[in-house]
Structure 1
Amino acid sequence: MPVVEIPLTPDPQRFTITLSGVDYRLTVRWREAVDGGWALDIADAAGTPIVRGIPLVTGVDLLKQYRYMGFPGGLFVLTTDDLAAPPTFENLGVGSHLYWVTME
């Protein structure tokens, strides 16, 4: 299974990336809630929304519940110091990483 790290920084951001031969536009936002948290929106290359508001949590395939939509891979968040710790406002892309895993 090929694994690709999606480059992130600890800032809200929007960018286009090719994953498993498909162009996606990703938007990452910090959401102020009780404890805050990062959320991900996925759109096609033209900007048409596919999925919105996926919380960036560790330990699960973020796209598992959307498998019926035909995503050719899964998304996983890992935090290097504590694999179960969610990304914080300061460590996204630094100590917490988002990975695309191609499904074969």
Structure 2
Amino acid sequence: MVINEIPLTATNQQFSITLSGTVWQMRIIWRDVAGWVLDMCNSASEPVIAGILLRGGEDLLSQYGWLKPGGRLIVIEDDKQSLDAAGLDKTAKLYWITD
């Protein structure tokens, strides 16, 4: 098993990342009502997945198995307040896990 942290900040952000050989454009935005939301686009910036709510302890891509992502995208929280507007980079971490 290989575990890689995807560094985040507690601000809206957009970045390119390669996960299991696939280039993704990730956008993470704070939505006051919902919390932190992830959108994933392909390397041509075409939307593939939109509106994934960042929640701790579950594979965020489990319902997208048809994409064959090659791993799991998981948020690990240190405490229950970690996914508020200021806690994303301090007490909540995003990991890419491959077997």
Measured after TM superposition, the shift of residue 58 of structure 1 is 0.9
1:95 alignment partner AA: T
Matched residue count: 99
Give the aligned CA root-mean-square deviation in angstroms.
1.3
Moved more, 47-56 or 69-78: 69-78
TM-score by length of 1: 0.88
Query: What are the ranges of 5 or more consecutive residues in structure 1 without an aligned counterpart?
Result: none
Query: What are the ranges of 5 or more consecutive residues in structure 2 without an aligned counterpart?
Result: none
Distance of 1:46 and 1:85 partners within structure 2: 35
Paired position in structure 2 for 1:9: 9
Paired position in structure 1 for 2:93: 97
- Tell me which stretches of 4 or more aligned residues in structure 1 moved more than 4 Å: none
Measured after TM superposition, the shift of residue 65 of structure 1 is 0.4
Q: How does 1:1-104 map to 2 (within 5 A)?
A: 1-33=1-33, 36-80=34-78, 82=79, 87-102=83-98, 104=99
TM-score by length of 2: 0.92
Deviations 1:6-51 (A, max 9, x none): 1100000000011112110000000121xx4000001111101110
2:54 alignment partner AA: L
Distance of 1:2 and 1:20 partners within structure 2: 11
